[in-house]
Amino acid sequence: MNIAETLVVLLYLLYFVVLPPILKRGGKPAWHGFVPILQYISWLKILGRPWYWVFLIFVPGVNLLVLIILNVETGIAFNKRSVKDQWFMGALPWVALPMLAFKETEAKYVGPRDWSKTKKSFQREWGEAILFAVIAASVIRTFFFEAFTIPTGSMEGSMLVGDYLFVSKMSYGAKLPQTPLSVPFIHNALPGSMRNSYVEWIELPYYRLPGFGKVDRYDPVVFNFPHGDSIIVDPVLAGHDYYAILRKQGIAFAGNDLNVYLEDPEGYKARARNRFSKEFGIKARPIDKEENYIKRCVGLPGDRIEMRDRQVYINDKALENPSEVQYNYYFRLKNQAQLQKVREELDLTELDFGNTGNQKNYGLVALTDGEYEKLMAMNVVDTIVLEDQSTLAGQLEIYPNSMLAPYNTWTPDNFGPIAIPADGWTYEVNIATLPLYRRVIEVYEGNQVEVRGNQVYINGEPVTEYTFKQNYYWMMGDNRHNSADSRFWGFVPETHVVGKAVFTWFSKENTLQHGSSDIRWGRMFRLVD
């Protein structure tokens, strides 16, 4: 427990000491101050605040603001109304409250300030309105719904760039904030900068409230990006996979020779880390301040997932694909002048087209099965070929980013089988399986892992199996050839799940993608599939 957490705990304990005499002087029985919950209800009554504020006292983040207000109003109720007194009660309650309770016993209870005979100033009226609006909105955002914007095309064509969604925190149970002191409504960085929007000296343990259900297959899930626990302090690089960036830069330092890199991967990654640290800076982020990602849940805890020639199999049974799954195709038209017609007929945008690499006479386009059939029916295509992603095999690109067999043969279209960990599930751990589960055991579950010869050690003890402590999920984008998902960085822990995307409340085109920023009226007020 750090100093800040200790101070917060001491404040709650302090109320058991100071509230009995304060309540007694306020006309309530002193014994109320020793009874949890009742002590706060009685406190609220002598301050003239509604009883249901008691719930706000226990909402992380909001509770600190509410307690400051109540501490200040306690002083006001005992006629300590100077600016100096109010600052003292709000900033140093650990000192001010004991003084009021036991030393300043001559301070009589006069009740909350009566505004019925005094007109509040314009500044105070608006200040109080804004303050309580922030509290109410923070409660809604923490426990019920949060707005989310689709930032990339990884979920095209189910969800489009420029879609504004409501994410239900109630679907899986709201996570209580782990960094409760932060600028309201700003996720992790102040606008126009890379400065933290939160303070790091108060971090609370993970806790999730009961929800309406659990993550189900095909759910569009918003989660904290698991590899976002460290970032390069740059607005472009911060939202990407820090570990993949280090690995790619390390390979570049090895002359883009993978064999040379593999002779000393840690050394080359250290060089990359040093470069980014000097050029941009590197910092850690707590779980609830990691970047928000949205993908579709394909694999559930305990599943055995595999992909064969683009077809997902769960426990050896083919899984029906979502209707809007799309893949990349190289194509060449009979007449390039027909390209504009193709774009209009299929409603394709710049985001649907990609880099053709060495295929200079071809275009590269992402298509759903329906779009593919419609394109072929137009009779304008000379050649069309599915993009071959087998070149990613053996390049440390595909999870678990290992050159051990069979992992070095996996591609985005062909990988597995992989067993997805479940809470309480015991699985064999050895040199062959460790690449799949090392980060889970070491980072997400807080153990020390090392390998000595052919033996795996966890927390200094030799092991042949491990029992997982939480559930994990396998997330994939519907835009299968243009999605950085579990195929590249692995499992999503339950601690990282934020909520379920349920409703599109606004949608507009992106200027770079569409050439305009028009509102997409047809996508507004729709449930998310």
First to last CA, the chain: 42
Between 85 and 133, residue with greater pLDDT = 85
**pLDDT at residue 126 above 80?**
no
- Cα 383 to the center of its chain, rounded Å: 42
| pLDDT value of position 291 | 92
pLDDT higher for 249 or 509? 249
Among 218, 382, 384, CA closest to 300 = 218
Q: Give the amino acid at 424.
A: G
- As a whole-number percent, the residues of the chain with pLDDT over 90 amount to 52
Q: Mean per-residue pLDDT for 36-56?
A: 90
What's the CATH class of domain 310-392?
A: alpha beta
Which residue would you say has higher pLDDT here, 439 or 63? 439
**CB distance 135 to 56 below 8 Å:** yes
Cis peptide before 157 (omega within 30 of 0): yes
* pLDDT on residue 352: 66
More confident residue, 32 or 177: 32
Confidence tier at 339 by pLDDT (50, 70, 90): confident
Res 492: pLDDT: 98
Which pTM was predicted?
Answer: 0.83
Tell whether the model's pLDDT for residue 340 goes beyond 90. no
Question: CATH homologous superfamily of domain 143-173+209-304+402-527?
Answer: Umud Fragment, subunit A (2.10.109.10)
| Cβ 395 vs Cβ 248: under 8 Å | no
What angle in degrees, to the nearest 10, is found between the helix axes of 62-77 and 3-25?
A: 30
Question: What are the tens digits of pLDDT across the range 422-434?
Answer: 999 999 999 999 9
Spans of all domains in the chain:
3-115, 143-173+209-304+402-527, 310-392
Nearest CA to 363 among 373, 374, 375?
Answer: 375
Dihedral angle, C-alpha 402, 405, 408, 412, nearest 10 °: -100
State both tokens at 216. Answer: 């189900």
pLDDT at 512 over 70: no
Contact present, 318 and 354 (Cβ < 8 Å): no
pLDDT, position 356:
63
By CB atoms closer than 10 A (0-12, 13-18, 19+), residue 427 is middle
Mean local confidence (pLDDT), 117-130:
70
Handedness of CA 388, 394, 400, 405 (dihedral sign): positive
Q: What is the pLDDT of residue 118?
A: 65
Name residue 262's beta-bridge partners.
none
- As a whole number of angstroms, the distance between CA 74 and CA 111 comes to 9
Burial of 118 (0-12, 13-18, 19+ CB in 10 A): exposed
Listed residue (418, 413, 423, 414) closest to 400, CA to CA:
418
Banded model confidence at residue 207, pLDDT cuts 50, 70, 90? confident
Distance CA 456, CA 403 (A): 18
Per-residue confidence at 468, pLDDT binned at 50, 70, 90? very high
pLDDT at 491: 98
203 vs 189, 190, 289, 293, CA distance in Å?
17, 19, 11, 22
- Please tell me the least confidently modeled range out of 363-372, 477-486, 489-498: 363-372
- In this predicted model, what pLDDT tens digit does every residue of 90-99 receive, in sequence order? 888 889 999 9
DSSP reduced 3-state for 146: strand
Give the pLDDT band of residue 396 (cuts 50, 70, 90): very high
Confidence of residue 152 (pLDDT cuts 50, 70, 90): confident
Give alpha helix (H) positions in 217-264. Answer: 242-253, 258-263
Coil, helix or strand for 125?
helix
* Residues 180/202, Cβ–Cβ less than 8 Å: yes
State the average pLDDT over residues 228-255.
94
Predicted pLDDT of residue 138: 79
Of the pLDDT bands very low, low, confident and very high (cuts 50, 70, 90), residue 470 is: very high
Strands 426-428 and 415-419: unpaired
pLDDT per position as a tens digit, 188-201: 888 888 888 888 87
